[in-house]
Amino acid sequence: MSYIKNEPDIVQNLRDSFEGIEPGHHIHKAHWNTVNIQGNLPMEEIKKLIDMSYELVVKSLPKRERDEIKNKL
């Protein structure tokens, strides 16, 4: 299982569309989903969700931390 951050407007749609996606456990359910990679979600979709999650998390960091991450890439 993995925790993946999503935009609040698509969280419920993802849960309704794929049996392997559930509300985040012990984290903010409006933004986070728990993804069972052994569910019916195609691996390509999981990769897209991970990329989106990464961008959302990095975007929420202070500018100094964002710059540090950007410089390491």
Q: Calculate Rg over the CA atoms of the chain.
A: 13
- Residue pointed to by tokens 């609040």: 8
Architecture of the structural domain at 2-72: Alpha-Beta Complex (3.90)
pLDDT digits (tens, 9 = 90+) for 43-71: 899 999 999 999 999 999 999 999 999 89
pLDDT digits (tens, 9 = 90+) for 4-55: 999 999 999 999 998 889 999 888 899 999 999 887 788 899 999 999 999 9
